[in-house]
């Protein structure tokens, strides 16, 4: 018999979804059969699987060791040692703000937001940070795996949100999708910029070249090309003869949106070798920093009320 106790890290999820996390090799039919036969119990009672788990709930699984090992086996993932290694090896990353359900970290230019191949990323660093502070461990990672919730390009620095609990992941993901969390960037562009306001267009991405194209009219988009509408807010902070400093509000969050949209509008980022033809190939990265996150207004009865309209900067 195996017993699990729900904690704050993995509460607020459906019971059947939790079972799929800890029994990844089990089919849905098998899980529901075990629930009906009371081979899986919730708080020592028969469960349907649609219950929402709360902190303190107890799950008992009455499988043989052989069956449990078979159903709990999955594709090998990185171990806690790998995450701790990333935490110790990646330099320049800082926790800017920490909440019981999430944290906001600063990512330097030159670090991936999420893993691509064998190169460690900010995501692994965050998991290592949580392991080093005993917030998560090898066992809890089988039930819920925290992760970064928004990405920055490899050569873009700034603020990234990382979940700590399932509740934090679910709520923040919804807020990011609904765009109730506002994200602002500081940018240095080429030329005397005179833009002001929200600029809309359409963006398509070529996965082979990892480059996007911007169109101001749907009719100009070649037939068969997939595209997404984009909106970019631009405010000039200072404008010189050769360069200008801008505050960019990322209203929609598409791949390379700020870089490609500014270039299309005639003001490419300094140092952006992909979208600025004048940038030198030796450039270490574009002049772009995700410097501010603003939370929406919360009701006084909301458990996140302390975050109401809170601004986080780096």
The structure tokens listed for 54 are: 């709360």
Count H helices and E strands in the chain, helices first. Answer: 8, 13
Fold agreement between 80-180 and 184-291: yes
The span from the CA of 270 to the CA of 273, in Å, is 9
The span from the CA of 200 to the CA of 207, in Å, is 22
* pTM, 2 dp: 0.82
The structure tokens listed for 275 are: 């979208």
CATH class of 80-180: alpha beta
The structure tokens listed for 144 are: 């819920």
DSSP 8-state symbol, 52: B
Helix runs in the chain, H state only: 15-22, 28-36, 65-72, 80-89, 122-132, 140-143, 166-178, 257-264
Rg (CA), the chain: 23
Candidates 130, 72, 75; CA nearest to 100 is 130
Domain parsing of the chain, residue ranges: 2-72, 80-180, 184-291
Q: What are phi and psi of 270, to 5 degrees?
A: -65, 130
Q: What are phi and psi of 71, to 5 degrees?
A: -80, -25
The span from the CA of 242 to the CA of 239, in Å, is 8
**β pairing state of 182-190 and 196-206:** unpaired
The superfamily in CATH containing domain 2-72 is RNA-binding S4 domain (3.10.290.10)
Contact between 158 and 289 under an 8 Å Cβ cutoff? The reply is yes
The structure tokens listed for 26 are: 């089990």
What are the pLDDT digits (tens) for 266-310?
999 999 999 999 988 766 789 999 999 999 999 999 999 999 999
**β pairing state of 94-98 and 58-61:** unpaired
What string of pLDDT tens digits covers the 314 residues of the chain? 899 999 888 898 999 999 988 898 899 999 999 999 999 999 999 999 999 999 999 999 999 888 888 888 754 456 788 899 999 999 999 999 999 999 999 999 999 999 887 789 999 999 999 999 999 988 788 888 899 999 999 999 999 999 999 999 999 999 999 999 999 999 999 999 999 999 999 999 998 899 999 999 998 999 989 999 999 999 999 999 999 999 999 999 999 999 999 999 999 999 999 999 998 876 678 999 999 999 999 999 999 999 999 999 99
Residues in the chain: 314
Report helix, strand or coil for 143: helix
Q: Give the architecture (CATH level 2) of 184-291.
A: 2-Layer Sandwich (3.30)
Q: How far is CA 40 from the centre of its chain?
A: 33
DSSP 8-state symbol, 209: T
Exposure of 26 by Cβ count < 10 A (0-12 exposed, 13-18 middle, 19+ buried)? buried
Contact between 112 and 90 under an 8 Å Cβ cutoff? The reply is no
């Amino acid at each position: 018999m195996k017993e699990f106790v729900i904690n704050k890290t993995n509460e607020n999820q459906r019971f059947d979804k939790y079972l799929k996390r800890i029994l990844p090799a089990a089919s849905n039919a098998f899980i529901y059969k075990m629930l009906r036969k009371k081979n899986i119990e919730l708080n020592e009672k028969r469960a349907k699987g649609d219950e929402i788990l709360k902190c303190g709930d107890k799950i008992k699984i009455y499988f043989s060791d052989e069956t449990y090992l078979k159903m709990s086996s999955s594709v090998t993932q990185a171990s806690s040692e790998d995450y701790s290694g990333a935490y110790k090896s990646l330099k320049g990353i800082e926790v800017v703000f920490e909440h019981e359900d999430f944290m906001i970290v600063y990512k330097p230019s030159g670090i991936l937001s999420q893993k691509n191949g064998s190169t460690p990323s900010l995501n692994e660093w965050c998991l290592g940070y949580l392991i080093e502070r005993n917030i998560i461990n090898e066992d809890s990672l089988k039930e819920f795996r925290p992760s970064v919730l928004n990405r920055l390009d490899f050569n873009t620095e700034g603020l990234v949100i990382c979940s700590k609990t399932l509740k934090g992941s679910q709520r923040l993901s919804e807020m990011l999708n609904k765009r109730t969390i506002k994200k602002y960037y500081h940018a240095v562009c080429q030329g005397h910029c005179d833009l002001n306001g929200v600029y809309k267009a359409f963006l398509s991405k070529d996965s082979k070249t990892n480059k996007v194209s911007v169109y101001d009219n749907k009719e100009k988009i070649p037939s068969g090309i997939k595209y997404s509408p984009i909106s970019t807010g631009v405010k000039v902070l200072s404008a010189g003869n050769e360069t200008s400093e801008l505050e960019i509000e990322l209203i929609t969050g598409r791949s390379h949106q700020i870089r490609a949209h500014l270039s299309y509008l005639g003001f490419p980022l300094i140092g952006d070798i992909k979208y600025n033809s004048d940038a030198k190939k030796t450039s270490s990265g574009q002049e772009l920093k995700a410097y501010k996150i603003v939370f929406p207004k919360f009701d006084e009865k909301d458990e996140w009320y302390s975050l109401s309209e809170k601004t986080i900067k780096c």
